[in-house]
Structure 1
């Protein structure tokens, strides 16, 4: 693969995932990832801080969630604003072509404690992003926190359900169902 070809971040992510599956996360180096992608080590570090970040995409998801909440109609209740954000994530990040890659990514993360920890930290960041976006809409702090926590839980369940199935449902539909399930369960507590 020629070095000048476009989509270096995507190529690096694909190469990393393949190597993590073949050799394990711990046994894969940045140099091996770059070589598999047909790129250099310096190109890798132009796009990613370290090899973990290949799987976590920086702040893209947090930004999508915050933008989705901000773009919700002014009359939307907090939960509806969160649902609007989950729709945005489905539309812009979890399209059908990403399902297989996402399922493989989940398996790699599940096999490694360091990656599971990083995934948990990312989840906290997503919750904080939603909380802040809701507060900017004028939602009281406690309500913002609760809606964001439940939204993050729904996002986690939706991601798991979406990557576990091949039924063709788009992520937005799966996320809306998960949000309804989480909301219904919260009324039972």
Structure 2
């Protein structure tokens, strides 16, 4: 193997997801992932702490984007509309990644440990969004309720977006899910 391999991180992620889908998360080793990517285990560990991190590596950046978009929404925006701005921003990051998202979600749903990790990621994101809303002057319990509602909209919209027959863009699914939440809370 050469000293330098282009896009090693992407190749490792692709190889891992393929193997997780084919063999299962538990049955796949780091050595197999590295071999499939044409790299070494050492290279794997330069990019990921462990084989779970392949599935959760972008979580921090996603959270930062979501929080920044909520914080940067116009001052006049109601809390739920600031959350809508965050959902729109997050949706953009998933453009052209539907196949990856579908495969990733299937791997996560097939493993209890990974499902727990996904829930922790969402709870951490909700706490960060609550902080962003506090920074906008939103008090409790409105800040926590809005953040949790935003995460629920994200989760439902995402799950609808990855359905095999679905072809609409993620942003549309998020807006539709948010509209459904607003309708439910309005009693319609």
Aligned Cα RMSD in Å?
A: 1.9
* Alignment check: 8 A CA contact 1:69 1:81 kept: yes
- TM-score scaled by length of structure 1: 0.91
The answer as to 2:51 corresponding to 1:31 is no
Verify: 1:80 aligned to 2:81, yes or no. yes
What's the counterpart of residue 48 of structure 2?
48
User: 151-160 or 41-50: which moved more?
Assistant: 41-50
Task: Indicate how the Cα distance of structure 1 residues 41 and 143 shifts in structure 2: closer, same or farther if over 3 A, else same.
Answer: same
**Conserved in 2, the CA contact under 8 Å of 1:65 and 1:129?**
no
1:108 positional shift: 1.0
CA shift for structure 1 position 149: 0.4
Matched-pair contact (CA < 8 Å) for 1:90–1:171: yes
SS at match of 2:56: coil
The alpha carbon displacement at 1:2 in A equals: 6.0
Output one character per residue of 1:97-151: Cα deviation in whole Å (capped at 9) or x when no partner.
2001111111111111111111111111111121111111111131110000000
Contact 1:34–1:41 at 8 Å: present in 2 too? yes
**Cα separation, 2, equivalents of 1:59 and 1:74:** 25
Tell me the equivalent position of 1:173. Answer: 172
Q: How much has 1:185 moved relative to structure 2? A: 2.3
Give the stretch that moved more between structures: 63-72 or 3-12.
3-12
CA contact 1:69–1:84 (8 Å) conserved in 2? yes
Question: Per-residue deviation at 1:22?
Answer: 1.1
Distance 1:115 1:90 in 2: 22
Length-normalised TM-score, structure 2: 0.91
